[in-house]
């Protein structure tokens, strides 16, 4: 009798154990596809049609549709991010307005594949308003690495999300527009389309003027700063360096921050 | 040809046709299997989801470098599960390098009661949670190879040859992992059933007096 009881118990335990184990098989997590796949869209922009790839965290990569087409974009994306890429049912929120040039925060960006310095450079660049330009040195300082001017150029030359991080608004300290990852003519065209007075800035640079100051506000700005553009010719003073302007009694603008955070 | 092999061939064809679109098939077809094993390898439901996603990303990166001939004959399911185990091992190693990291393979409250998921019927869930919570906790006390072997064989119903492939051992050793794991689990279940307390002494006593494990 005792033996029988034990046998029954053991069989019962086994049956419950196996049933319990069978119950441990589970479905895939609902969020798995979003965690694994990036999704692409083709949308219009100031550079013509572009492809954009976005993860669940935001837009990760953007390139002109150009000649390489979708195959070229997919290959470039795979080489850089190594994540499967499939078509998106609709563009990520905020992407279309941002590419149409609407002011605002723009779409969320996924910059997780970048280093801290790269992210800092892109964050600083993203704060430059439309129609304005800042030198590479300004970006380096805003990114917390004042000495890394050349490195800023390298980072922006690989900008994964041009237009959304407006690297076309970063120019050389001597007033030349400098290079662009899609060519200098595209950079100039984008800046003109945003309303920047490219010729006026070039004229000033030729005369050695890189900062403009107002004797009514006693503030000194970058020439493309919204505040500098309001200065009437009568009250306008040009300077080649910020030091000269400061010695002449002008205070660095708090909007365009020609002297950085200090 | 069995159903699993037909599925494998269909998914491999999709991969060869278009790696990225085909990978959608891979995730759809094997997401549940990989996630089920990930649950047995992690401390919490959230960790299991992260591990599952990370394993599928690593597998994609490997596939992107494979020639077509290799993809055509790839035994996808055991290969994915091998990638999963390696990913878990790397994650555990990384966690161990961090100071004051919690032990990797110890169930937490969250593991014991992961809460209802969207697809579950609440009443059904309550009942299964009751049975599952204890079992998952007891399973977590098994050495990794035995735990994985038991889950592959008895939760996912994989053939022993595939269990052996995943564990990278011979079929005899795989069988012994399954039976030792099951034996140990049975002892743990019996002990947990005779006296209350999820972490009570009885389980340990049974473990200590149980059959000698290598």
Domain residue limits, chain B: 1-103, 122-214
3-state secondary structure of B116: coil
Are A180 and A187 within 8 A, CB to CB?
yes
* pLDDT at res. A8: 54
Q: Which of A38, A86, A89, A33 is nearest to A60 (CA)?
A: A38
CB neighbour list of residue B116: distance below 8 Å, 6 or more residues apart: B122, B125
The answer to whether A29 contacts B185, with C-beta atoms less than 8 Å apart, is no
Per-domain residue ranges for chain A? 34-99, 116-196, 207-252
Q: Sign of torsion, CA B74 B75 B77 B78?
A: negative
Which has more confidence, A102 or B30?
B30
The answer to whether A36 contacts B27, with C-beta atoms less than 8 Å apart, is yes
Task: Report, at the CATH architecture level, how domain A116-196 is classified.
Answer: Orthogonal Bundle (1.10)
The answer to whether A36 contacts B154, with C-beta atoms less than 8 Å apart, is no
Give B34 to chain A, closest Cα distance, Å: 8
Banded model confidence at residue B170, pLDDT cuts 50, 70, 90: very high
- DSSP letter for each residue of B77-92: HHHHHHHHHHHHHHHH
* pLDDT at res. A260: 64
Q: Which of A241, A63, A31 is nearest to A162 (CA)?
A: A63
Q: How do residues A101-147 score in pLDDT, each as one tens digit?
A: 887 788 999 999 999 999 999 999 999 999 999 999 999 999 999 99
CATH class of B1-103: mainly alpha
Q: What is the mean pLDDT of residues B108-124?
A: 45
Low-confidence ranges of chain A (pLDDT < 50): 1-6, 261-262
Res. B8: pLDDT tops 60: yes
* pLDDT at res. B99: 60
- At the fourth CATH level, which superfamily is domain A207-252? DNA Methylphosphotriester Repair Domain (3.40.10.10)
87-116 of B, contacting A, C-beta below 8 A: none
Mutation for A interface: B15, B22, B44, B53, most A CBs within 10 A:
B53
Task: Report, at the CATH architecture level, how domain B122-214 is classified.
Answer: Orthogonal Bundle (1.10)
Mutation for A interface: B14, B22, B31, most A CBs within 10 A:
B31
- DSSP letter for each residue of A119-181: HHHHHHHHTSPTT--EEHHHHHHHTT-TT-HHHHHHHHHT-SSBTTB-GGGEE-TTS-----T
Q: Which of B21, B13, B25 is nearest to A70 (CA)?
A: B21
Res. B199: pLDDT tops 50: no
Are A32 and B27 within 8 A, CB to CB?
yes
Q: Which of A27, A32, A36 sits opposite B119 (nearest CB)?
A: A27
In the numeric block, which tokens belong to residue B147?
């735990």
CB neighbour list of residue A80: distance below 8 Å, 6 or more residues apart: A61, A113, A160
Banded model confidence at residue B103, pLDDT cuts 50, 70, 90: very low
* pLDDT at res. B101: 44
The answer to whether A84 contacts B31, with C-beta atoms less than 8 Å apart, is no
3-state secondary structure of A64: strand
Q: Which of A22, A29, A31 sits opposite B155 (nearest CB)?
A: A22
* pLDDT at res. B193: 72
Active site residue A256: no
In the numeric block, which tokens belong to residue A11?
């069989």
3-state secondary structure of A106: coil
Q: How far apart are CA B138 and CA A237, in angstroms?
A: 79
Are A42 and A35 within 8 A, CB to CB?
no
The answer to whether B36 contacts A85, with C-beta atoms less than 8 Å apart, is no
Res. B109: pLDDT tops 60: no
């Amino acid at each position: 009798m005792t033996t029988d009881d034990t046998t029954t118990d053991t069989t019962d335990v086994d049956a419950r154990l196996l049933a319990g184990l069978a119950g441990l098989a589970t479905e895939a997590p609902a969020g798995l596809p979003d965690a694994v796949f990036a999704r692409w869209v083709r949308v219009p922009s100031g550079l013509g049609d572009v492809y954009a790839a976005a993860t669940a965290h935001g837009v990760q990569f953007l390139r002109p549709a150009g000649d390489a087409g979708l195959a070229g974009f997919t290959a470039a994306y795979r080489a850089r991010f190594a994540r499967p890429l499939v078509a998106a049912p609709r563009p990520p929120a905020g992407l279309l307005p941002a590419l149409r040039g609407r002011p605002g925060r723009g779409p969320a960006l996924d910059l997780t594949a970048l280093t801290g310095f790269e992210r800092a450079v892109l964050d600083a660049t993203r704060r430059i308003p439309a129609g304005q330009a800042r030198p590479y040195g300004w970006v380096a300082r805003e990114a917390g690495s004042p000495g890394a001017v050349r490195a800023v150029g390298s980072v922006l030359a690989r900008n994964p999300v041009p237009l959304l991080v407006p690297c076309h608004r970063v120019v050389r300290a001597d007033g030349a527009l400098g290079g662009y990852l899609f060519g200098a003519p595209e950079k100039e065209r984008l800046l003109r389309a945003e309303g920047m007075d490219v010729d006026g800035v070039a004229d000033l640079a030729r005369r050695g003027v890189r900062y403009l100051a107002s004797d009514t506000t006693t503030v000194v700005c970058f020439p493309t700063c919204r505040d500098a553009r309001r200065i009437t010719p009568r009250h306008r003073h040009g300077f080649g360096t910020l030091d000269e302007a400061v010695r002449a009694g002008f205070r660095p603008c708090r909007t365009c921050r020609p002297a950085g955070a200090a | 040809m069995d159903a699993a092999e037909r599925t494998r061939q269909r998914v491999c064809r999709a991969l060869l046709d278009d790696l990225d679109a085909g990978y959608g098939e891979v995730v759809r077809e094997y997401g549940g299997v990989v996630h089920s094993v990930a649950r047995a390898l992690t401390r919490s439901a959230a960790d299991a989801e992260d591990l599952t996603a990370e394993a599928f990303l690593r597998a994609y990166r490997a596939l992107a470098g494979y020639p077509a001939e290799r993809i055509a004959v790839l035994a996808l399911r055991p290969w994915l599960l091998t990638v999963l185990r390696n990913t878990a091992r790397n994650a555990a190693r990384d966690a161990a390098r961090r100071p004051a990291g919690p032990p990797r393979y110890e169930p937490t409250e969250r593991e014991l009661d992961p809460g209802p998921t969207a697809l579950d019927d609440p009443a059904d869930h309550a009942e299964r949670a009751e049975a599952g919570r204890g079992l998952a906790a007891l399973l977590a006390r098994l050495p990794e190879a035995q735990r994985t072997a038991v889950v592959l064989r008895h939760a996912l119903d994989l053939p022993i040859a595939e269990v052996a492939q995943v564990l990278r051992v011979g079929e005899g050793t795989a069988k012994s992992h399954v039976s030792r794991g099951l034996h140990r689990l049975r002892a743990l279940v019996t002990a947990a059933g005779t006296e209350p307390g999820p972490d009570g002494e009885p389980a340990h006593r049974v473990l200590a007096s149980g059959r000698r494990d290598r």
